[in-house]
């Protein structure tokens, strides 16, 4: 599951995209050993390292507090965000990217477990696990947890899956010797937890959401294994158009899988699909639900480039999925902010779009560097909405540069 959920097909690539390839999160795995003791492991998918940090009843207590348990023969996977890893490059916007990036990974792990036939129980922002996470990574926030039931024989999580190094780091990295965060990371973190204007941050203590159970044993996987292996972010788009029906069915299927896995009727973000072609397929039965479509053949490359903050390599995108939500739902300060949920669903949906696009041969990339006002104008979105994420699709081009990987945040319009 780790291979499918975290590592891409060519093994040098991750299974999920990340703004500027910064991967601003940590992944922990809790499993039980033969003697019944629960161990806490930290996973580094880049290096394919899985190291045990601690073991013992304290971990069970934390799990109990979070209303979770390690399923027999299975594991609990905990994701914790480290906003600093993205914010040092992207400023405040890096906070949004952190949530989107982590949602991509979360959804991919759910789909990988589903693909292998495991059952999954989800917890969003479970309380009780902070102590475990912060002991080994201060300035981190628990994002979500998945309890994965045992995989069927043959597909089960080997003790040491091929290419992974699993080691016991308790002696070499006891909690008392843990690495202290860089002072800049601490400053960034403190600004997040004390800044009441920082929307969602005040809800670190938000109520636990009800668990979501994904139990699809013996059903066709939601996403075939091949899609996990071929996923990648387009480095640019070639001129030309991709079939509108492929784009529509990509988005349609992604929305329906999201609703299957994380049902939440009517919850933002809203999805508006901009297609740079004449309207086609009028009257076709099975009109997509859950997305609005704007046919905009007149949209120029210059407008698209401008709306994507001068990212020229995106100028020839054939279609853009805009995920947007009422601004008020994002910034309410009375504990009612939906920011976390909106970004969680936006990132999860975008991951599904990546995987569906891969199956249809569409080039695709998530885009965080966009001008919300400009896109609202171009696509006629409600004035009181804000775009939170965009996914561009089109014809692939092999040799365009991926500018947001550069050290300086090129996509943020910080230089003219
Ligand atoms: C939240 C988010 C924002 C992103 N923003 C941009 C962007 O503005 N421009 C762009 O070209 N790529 C963007 N990407 C794609 C990343 O550059 C890409 O995921 C990263 O380089 C790793 O490449 P890979 O996805 O092929 O593994 C974004 C990805 C995510 C998840």
Q: Determine the average pLDDT of the residues in 139-148.
A: 89
- Stretch 53-67: mean pLDDT, rounded? 89
- Measured at the CA of 303, the angle between CA 301 and CA 306, to 5 degrees, comes to 105
pLDDT at 128: 84
Task: Report which secondary-structure segment, H or E, holds 9.
Answer: none
Which domains does the chain possess? 2-214 (3.40.109), 232-412 (3.40.109.10)
Tokens of 176: 């008392």
Give residue 315's pLDDT: 96
Please report the pLDDT score of residue 267 as a whole number. 81
d(CA 33, CA 31): 7
Average pLDDT rounded to a whole number, residues 327-350: 83
pLDDT band at residue 406, thresholds of 50, 70 and 90? low
As a residue count, the chain comes to 416
Sheet (strand 75-81) strand order:
165-168, 49-55, 38-44, 25-32, 75-81, 141-148, 120-124, 212-214
Atom 9 of ligand 1 has which residue's CA nearest to it? Answer: 367
Which residues fall within 8 angstroms of residue 367, CB to CB, at 6 or more apart? Answer: 308, 311, 314, 320, 389, 390, 391, 392, 411
Distance 368 CA to ligand 1 centre (A): 8
Q: What confidence tens digit (pLDDT) does each residue in 214-272 have?
A: 666 667 889 998 899 889 999 999 999 999 999 999 999 999 999 888 887 778 899 99
* Whole-model pTM over 0.75: yes
* Probe residue for ligand 1, chosen from 12, 17, 353, 374 as the CB with the greatest number of ligand atoms within 8 Å: 17
Q: Terminus-to-terminus CA distance in the chain, angstroms?
A: 44
Q: How far is CA 182 from CA 18, 174, 319, in A?
A: 22, 19, 41
* Residue-level pLDDT at 371: 97
Which residue did the predictor score with more confidence, 175 or 224? 224
- The residue contributing the CA closest to ligand 1 atom 20 is 21
pLDDT at residue number 338: 85
Ligand 1 centroid – CA 21 distance (Å): 7
Q: What is the mean pLDDT of residues 82-91?
A: 91
Q: Residue 285 has what pLDDT?
A: 45
Angle value at C-alpha 367, between 329 and 266, nearest 5 degrees: 35
Task: Express as a percent the part of the chain with pLDDT over 90.
Answer: 47
The residue to which tokens 């076709």 are assigned: 284
pLDDT band for position 288 (cuts 50, 70, 90): low
pLDDT at residue 94 in the model:
94
Which residues form ligand 1's pocket by a CB distance below 6 Å? 13-14, 17-19, 21, 97, 100-101, 104, 232-233, 311, 365-369, 402, 404-405, 411
Q: At what angle do helices 244-261 and 93-116 cross, to 10 degrees?
A: 80
How many whole angstroms from 12 Cα to the centroid of ligand 1? 16
Mean pLDDT, the chain, whole residue set: 83
């Amino acid at each position: 599951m780790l291979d499918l959920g975290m590592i891409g097909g060519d093994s040098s690539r991750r299974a999920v995209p990340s703004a500027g390839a910064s991967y601003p999160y940590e992944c922990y795995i809790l499993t039980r050993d033969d003697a019944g003791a629960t161990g806490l492991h930290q996973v580094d998918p880049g290096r394919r390292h899985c190291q045990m940090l601690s073991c013992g009843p304290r971990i069970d207590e934390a799990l109990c507090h979070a209303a979770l348990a390690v399923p027999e023969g299975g594991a609990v996977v905990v994701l914790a965000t480290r906003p600093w890893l993205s914010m040092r490059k992207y400023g405040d916007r890096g906070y949004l990217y952190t949530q989107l990036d982590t949602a991509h990974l979360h959804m991919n792990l759910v789909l990988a477990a589903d693909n292998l036939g495991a059952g999954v129980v989800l917890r969003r922002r479970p309380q009780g696990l902070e102590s475990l996470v912060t002991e080994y990574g201060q300035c981190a926030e628990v994002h979500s947890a998945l309890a994965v039931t045992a995989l069927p024989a043959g597909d089960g999580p080997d003790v040491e899956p091929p290419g992974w190094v699993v080691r016991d780091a308790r002696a070499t990295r006891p909690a008392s010797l843990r690495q202290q965060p860089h002072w800049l990371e601490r400053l960034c973190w403190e600004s997040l937890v004390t800044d009441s204007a920082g929307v969602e941050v005040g809800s670190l203590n938000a109520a636990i959401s009800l668990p979501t159970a994904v139990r699809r044993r013996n059903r066709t996987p939601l996403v075939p294994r091949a899609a996990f292996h071929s996923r990648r972010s387009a480095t640019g788009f070639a001129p030309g158009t991709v079939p509108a029906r492929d784009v529509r069915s990509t988005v349609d299927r992604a929305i329906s899988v999201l609703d299957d896995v994380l049902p939440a009727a009517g919850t933002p973000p809203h999805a508006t699909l901009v297609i740079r072609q004449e309207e086609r397929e009028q009257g076709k039965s099975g009109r997509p639900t859950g997305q609005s479509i704007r046919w905009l053949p007149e949209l120029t490359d210059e407008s698209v480039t401008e709306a994507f903050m001068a990212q020229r390599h995106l100028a020839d995108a054939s279609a853009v999925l805009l995920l947007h939500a009422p601004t008020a739902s994002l910034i309410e300060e009375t504990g009612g902010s939906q920011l976390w949920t909106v970004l969680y669903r936006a990132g999860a949906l975008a991951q599904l779009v990546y995987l569906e696009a891969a199956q249809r041969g569409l080039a695709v990339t998530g885009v965080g560097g966009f001008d919300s006002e400009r896109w609202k104008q171009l696509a006629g979105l409600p004035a009181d909405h804000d775009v939170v994420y965009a996914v561009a699709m089109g014809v692939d081009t092999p040799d365009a540069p991926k500018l947001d990987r550069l050290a300086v945040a090129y996509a943020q319009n910080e230089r003219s």
